[in-house]
Structures are given as structure tokens and as C-alpha cells.
Amino acid sequence: MSSLLVGIDIGTSSVKSLIMNSSGQIMGLAQQEYDIQIPKAGYAEQDPAVWWRLTCDTLKQAMRQAGAKDADISGIGFSGQMHGLVAVDESGQVLRPAIIWCDQRTIPQKEALESALSVEQLGALIQNPVATGFQLLSLLWIKEHEPLIYRNIRKVMSPKDYVRYRMTGEIASEMTDASGTAAFSPASREWSRRLLEAVDVDPELFPAVQEPWKHSGTVTRQAAEESGLAKGTPVVYGGADQPMQAIGNGIIHPGTISCTIGTGGQLFAPIDAPVYDPLLRSHSYVHAFPCRWYLLGATMSAGLSLKWLANQILGETDYRLLDEKASTIPAGSEKLLFLPYLTGDRTPHMDPYAKGIFFGLTLKHSGAHMVRAVMEGVAFSLRDSLEIFHSLGVDAKKIIVSGGGAKSALWSQMLADILEQDVYASRMTEQACVGAALIAGVGVGQFDSIEQGIAQVVQIHEEPIRPQGRNRDVYRQQYEVYRALYDANQRLFLELESPDNKNEGVIQ
């Protein structure tokens, strides 16, 4: 009898396909990387056809690794990078490259929307801030700059919804990814027709919204040929990467928090009512668990900051080696600080103009100091999110760390020291894929409920990583300077981007 579950994560840097059994044993795991295309400074695009092709490749690899036949797969679930825009025409053809979450071209659309609607009005309509790279703003950009394409758009989709459409032929959205489009009200769990009316966008462009664990169709004949899956294999809607990762870590009830360092960094706290920050410094979205929402603090460039330093500045690609080097530097990087705003900031400043800064450089600082300072800067940024959660009365009894950055013992220790709390690591790997496979198991009836699936699959280390007293004290002081750095530079960030600034990087 078929009983293997598949979880596919359409990440920012790669697609991962995972095959597990009902006890959570990973039987096969394959990953294929892709780049972010930057056709112009501030743009970030990807080709949806590449997502689909590499999904098929990784599925075949994972099945080979698992020694599984197509008939062994009982259900498929998806996880995916959030906020992005895939636009398709009447016949379901992609009209232009996807504009993804870290794209920053929509500063004018963001500012126009924010001057038309107050923070209070946005809070009432969508309970969230709008940020560059969010689907609705990207759609407004196409409307303004590519009117011929805009006219042909029949539906817009989030990245993983497009890949699922290629697999099943059905165009649909689900609550968790709809939440991150800026066109959806998580509190009322429906597209915000009032907001769409206010920006003159046809609500019909947005697909019907489903629950993540529900059956969304089956693998089509063509998808079967391309992916090696069996035609007719059941597929569930799946969810955005943050809630899927939370499910894969067993985080469904208030009190336990997920802390992720992937390309971006996120702090995620389940809540049992759609509470939101009245200052809109963090996000409030629908969770992939019945009647639950979550608060999300987002760092735009987390792992991406380290990747930038490693690849573009130090010419080193081995993260383990960088870890080793950073371990030789004392906590606080001998007073070197890094502000990780390489692609602007979301939480807490929601400022697309913000820039990265190394602050405090002296002759004694080496590449290893810079690596450590980058890791610390990312952890400080996640602490900013924790401070906001505390201010909203959200309890963090337990913090579970994951994402590529959590593979580093040093980075995980820094999180404990800087968040000033025990943090727990998972015994599993690729929790977003695990979450996607788990809800597929719920959808096909292999688990009675998400809770039962979690009890059967998820394993967290019992021993926490504890804050180290001396480091904590150093970081407490360093955090004060970190906080002040943005305030001291906010005006200068704006000045750099002013239309009067003639510095356009042209070589004479």
C-alpha cells in the first residue's frame, strides 16, 4: 500500500523535495539551486518554469534515493517563498518573470498606497503593513509600467501555487500565502475587496482561497510524465514557507516560537486571535492550523547577508570554514557591528531605503571579525522582532531554531545569547518540507489531524542551547549601539536615494 509522503519547498535559493514515511523518517531528499535574476538594481526575479523543471528533477532524484516507485507516494504537499507574484494569461501561460519578495522596485507604489491609506486604515483592511516585493504592489507596478502585460493577466499566484498548478492543472490560492500578498485580510480570511477597490484592481485576478491541508486535485498525465510521479497522486494545497516550517517544528500553539535563518530571517509566534501590531512593524497572518494566526517579524537579508559577505567580499563559499573562523573571534566582534539592511528592512523599520552598515571598523578587524559581526547583526535584527512580540504581550516560552543558519552551532549559540533565552534545535532537517509532507498526510487521511501528525513525526532536541552569561552581557551593550545605528542614519539612507543624488555608478 502506498504510504510515502512528499514535501516540496520552493525556496528563494533552491527547490527541495523530500520523501518521508508516516513516522517522519526521511527516505529521500534532493535540492537544486537557482539564482535570483537582477535585471536592474533593486529588481529580484525568478523564472517560474525553472521552479517547475527543478521540482521535477528533485522529485526524480529523491525517489531514486528513497528507492521508491511512483505508486509508493500517497500524497504531496507544498511550501514556498512568500509574497511573490506570478501572472498568467487566459491559457495559464506565464506572462513575465516572477517578481519575488526581495524585489524593491515598488517603493513608489508603497508610498502612494501609504499616502492614500493611514496606518489605522491599513490595519483595519489587511492588519498588515505593505512592503516592497509584496504581490499587490508588484501587480500595481506592472499596471503602471507594463500595461500590455497587465491587460492580459487573468490570474495572479504565489510561487508555490504556480508549481502546484503545473502539477494539478488547478489555479488556486490558500490562506497562508494569500495572507502575505497585501491584498488579503487575515482577520476575515478573505481577499480585501475594499482595498482592491481603493487601488482599482479587479478582485477576480485573485484565485479562490482554500485551507492548506485540503485536497487540491491530483497529478495530471503531463505532470506525471515530467516528474516521474504517478498520474492521479493526491495533492494538497500546502502553505507559505513560514507556517510550513512551523508545522515541521511542531509549532502550532501560542507560547512556542520559531526562529529561522534562511535567505531571509524570521521570528514566528502562533496566536489564537488575529491580533496585530497597531504600528504595523510586524506581520499578522493566517497559520496552517485551524483557527490560528501568527505574528511574523521579518529580516530581509539574514543568511543572504552572510552569503553576500562570503561570495562577493571574501571569495569563500564554505560556510563551515567561515564558522570556524568566526569562532576564533570574541563575542561582540571587538566592537564591530553590522546592520543587515542590504535589501532594505522590514521588521522593525519597514524601510526599503535602509542600507547595510559595518560600523566600528579599525585596523585590528579581519575578515573573520566581519563574518562574526554579520552573524551577530542578523541575530540583533531577530531580537528587534522579539521585542515587538513582547510589547504585544506575546509569550516566548520556548524558541526553536531552524533554516540553513541553524546548521551553524555558533549562530545558534548567538541566538541564545542575543535573544537571552534557551533555544532548541530540531533533530530533523528541512522542516518546511517536513511540514508540507505532514499536511499532505493529513489531507490524504494518513494522520487524523495536524496534532497527531506532529506527535508522530516531529522530534526536537530535549537539551536546549543555553545563553552564556558573559556573551549575553557583551551583546546587551552591543544591542544598544545596534539600535541607535538605524536612527542615526535613517535620514542619510533617504539622502542616498534622493533623485538629486548624481551617483549612478557610471565609470568614466
Ligand X SMILES: Nc1ncnc2c1ncn2[C@@H]1O[C@H](COP(=O)(O)OP(=O)(O)O)[C@@H](O)[C@H]1O
Residue 320 binding ligand X, by CB under 6 A: yes
Residue 11 binding ligand 5SP, by CB under 6 A: yes
Chosen from ligand X, ligand 5SP, none, partner binding at 239 (C-beta under 5 to 8 Å by type): none
Classify residue 23 by burial, with Cβ atoms within 10 Å: 0-12, 13-18, 19+: exposed
Chosen from ligand X, ligand 5SP, none, partner binding at 411 (C-beta under 5 to 8 Å by type): ligand X
Residue nearest to ligand 5SP (CB): 262
Handedness of CA 331, 333, 337, 340 (dihedral sign): negative
Residues 12-41 that bind ligand X (CB under 6 A): 12-14
* One-letter amino acid of 395: D
Q: CB of residue 86 vs ligand X: minimum separation in angstroms? A: 18
State yes or no: is 241 an active-site residue.
Answer: yes
- Peptide bond connecting 348 to the previous residue in cis, omega within 30 degrees of 0: yes
The single residue of 177, 241, 323, 345 carrying the catalytic annotation is 241
Residues touching ligand 5SP, count (CB under 6 A): 14
Q: Which is nearer to ligand X, 12 or 109 (CB)?
A: 12
Q: CB of residue 322 vs ligand X: minimum separation in angstroms? A: 7
* Number of C-beta neighbours around residue 251 at 10 A: 30
Residue 83 binding ligand 5SP, by CB under 6 A: yes
Handedness of CA 444, 448, 451, 455 (dihedral sign): negative
279's grid cell? 504600528
d(CA 77, CA 436): 5
Which CA distances in Å does 294 have to 42, 116, 265, 437, 470? Answer: 29, 27, 15, 21, 33
459's grid cell? 522530534
Contacting residue, 28, 186, 297, 303, with ligand X by CB under 6 A: 303
DSSP string covering 392-446, please?
TT---SEEEEESGGGG-HHHHHHHHHHHTS-EEEBSSS-HHHHHHHHHHHHHTTS
Residues 185-204 that bind ligand 5SP (CB under 6 A): none
Mark the segment that binds ligand 5SP (CB under 6 A) among 78-86, 89-97, 108-116, 452-460.
Answer: 78-86
Chosen from ligand X, ligand 5SP, none, partner binding at 407 (C-beta under 5 to 8 Å by type): ligand X
Q: Which is nearer to ligand 5SP, 160 or 166 (CB)?
A: 160
Residues 394-423 that bind ligand X (CB under 6 A): 403-405, 407-408, 411
The annotated binding site for substrate is made up of 82-83
Q: CB of residue 491 vs ligand 5SP: minimum separation in angstroms? A: 27
Chosen from ligand X, ligand 5SP, none, partner binding at 242 (C-beta under 5 to 8 Å by type): ligand 5SP
Residues touching ligand X, count (CB under 6 A): 19
Contact status, residue 157 vs residue 231, Cβ threshold 8 Å: no
Contacting residue, 58, 81, 258, 408, with ligand 5SP by CB under 6 A: 81
In this structure, the dihedral spanned by the alpha carbons of residues 331, 332, 336 and 342, taken in order and rounded to 10 degrees, is 90
Mark the segment that binds ligand 5SP (CB under 6 A) among 80-88, 188-196, 307-315, 480-488.
Answer: 80-88
What residues contact 229, with CB distance under 8 A and at least 6 apart? 6, 59, 70, 73, 76, 167, 219, 223
Q: Which is nearer to ligand X, 254 or 405 (CB)?
A: 405
* One-letter amino acid of 162: Y
Nearest-5° angle of CA 268, CA 27, CA 46?
Answer: 55
Classify residue 195 by burial, with Cβ atoms within 10 Å: 0-12, 13-18, 19+: buried
d(CA 80, CA 241): 5
d(CA 64, CA 42): 39
Contact mark string toward ligand X, 256..275, x via CB under 6 A = ------xx------------
Q: Which is nearer to ligand 5SP, 28 or 180 (CB)?
A: 180
Handedness of CA 179, 181, 184, 187 (dihedral sign): positive
Mark the segment that binds ligand 5SP (CB under 6 A) among 121-129, 257-265, 308-316, 413-421.
Answer: 257-265
Residue 323 binding ligand X, by CB under 6 A: yes
Residue 101 binding ligand 5SP, by CB under 6 A: yes
Point out the residues that are catalytic. 241
Q: Which residues bind ligand X (CB under 6 A)?
A: 11-14, 262-263, 303-304, 306-307, 319-320, 323, 403-405, 407-408, 411
Residues at the interface with ligand 5SP (CB under 6 A): 11-12, 81-83, 101, 241-242, 262-264, 266, 296, 298
